[in-house]
């Protein structure tokens, strides 16, 4: 029973707390009359602080923020994720640099960084060692389960965005989460995945600048949705193959050093 509480139980409780904190933040924004533009940043800030508090007092798992050794090996391990991020981000970066500068873009840039920090801390930094407590000696299963939870959390987006947009988003999150999870497990460098995550989300800046409170543009036709979902499923399969090679034989640290 103690093992369940420290592993599956703690991981499940953390996963449940995330949407609770997100809805709480949205409720605070509505209750106080704050600008809806602040809803997303407030949600991520509340989740980040709540997750840190949860780990400090309850979960007590080690989080490897940075690894300043073997940069060459880390870069080699990061190549698959770098290729995917570059493929997805280059066009969006070009579009961003072609967009006339607005001061609000700095705000959204900070928001994008906050998203990467929060999601990587929760799903890679905390959930991976929590799941590993219940899956000792099974790093690949731990990586895939954490990525499935990461993808599943995006179901919450259906409250504001169409299903046709969310379905590919879930598969994309699972694929990207698998790349990032295996990279974190193999490098012990959370800052690396945070940076890659933020770069991946850079497209949000141009979308939010144009439609900061209107989510109607976050949609696509059912046919295109299925095509995009199929592509992301293919990427997910590749991610599993890469993860299997990267984490094989690795023991995930689940306890704090004495």
| Sequence-ordered list of residues with C-beta below 8 angstroms from that of 208, at least 6 positions apart, any chain | 108, 111
The pLDDT tens digits along the chain (258 residues) read 566 778 999 999 999 999 999 889 888 888 888 887 888 899 999 999 999 999 999 999 999 999 989 999 999 999 999 999 988 887 677 777 777 888 888 999 999 999 999 999 999 999 999 999 999 999 999 999 999 999 999 888 777 778 888 889 899 999 999 999 999 999 999 999 999 999 998 878 877 777 655 555 566 788 998 999 999 999 999 999 999 999 999 999 999 986
Return the pLDDT at 212: 55
Distance separating alpha carbons of residues 18 and 197, to the nearest angstrom: 18
Distance separating alpha carbons of residues 119 and 155, to the nearest angstrom: 15
**DSSP secondary-structure letter at 56?**
I
Output phi, psi for 238, to 5 deg: -60, -40
46, 20 contact by CB (below 8 A): no
Distance separating alpha carbons of residues 130 and 114, to the nearest angstrom: 23
Domain chopping of the chain, boundaries? 63-247
61, 129 contact by CB (below 8 A): yes
Q: 202 in helix, strand or coil? A: coil
Return the pLDDT at 258: 67
pTM of the model: 0.91
147, 177 contact by CB (below 8 A): yes
């Amino acid at each position: 029973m103690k093992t369940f509480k420290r592993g599956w139980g703690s991981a499940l409780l953390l996963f449940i707390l995330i949407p609770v904190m997100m809805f709480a933040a949205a409720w605070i924004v509505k209750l106080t009359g704050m600008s809806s533009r602040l809803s997303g940043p407030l949600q991520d800030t509340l989740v980040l602080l709540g997750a840190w508090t949860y780990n400090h007092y309850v979960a007590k798992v080690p989080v490897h923020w940075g690894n300043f050794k073997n940069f060459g090996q880390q870069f080699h391990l990061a190549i698959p994720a770098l290729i995917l991020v570059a493929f997805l981000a280059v066009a969006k970066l070009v579009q961003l640099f072609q967009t006339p500068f607005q001061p609000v873009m700095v705000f959204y840039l900070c928001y994008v960084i906050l998203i990467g920090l929060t999601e990587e801390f929760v799903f890679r930094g905390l959930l991976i060692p929590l799941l590993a407590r219940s899956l000792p000696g099974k790093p690949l299963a731990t990586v895939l389960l954490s990525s499935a939870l990461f993808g599943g959390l995006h179901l919450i987006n259906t409250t504001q965005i169409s299903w046709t947009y969310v379905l590919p988003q879930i598969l994309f999150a699972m694929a990207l989460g698998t790349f990032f999870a295996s990279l974190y497990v193999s490098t012990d460098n959370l800052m690396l995945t945070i940076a890659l995550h933020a770069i991946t989300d850079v497209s949000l800046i141009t979308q939010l600048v144009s439609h900061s409170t209107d989510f109607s543009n976050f949609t696509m036709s059912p046919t295109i949705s299925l095509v995009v979902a199929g592509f992301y499923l293919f990427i997910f399969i590749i991610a599993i193959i890469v993860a299997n090679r990267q984490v094989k034989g690795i023991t995930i640290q689940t306890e704090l050093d004495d």
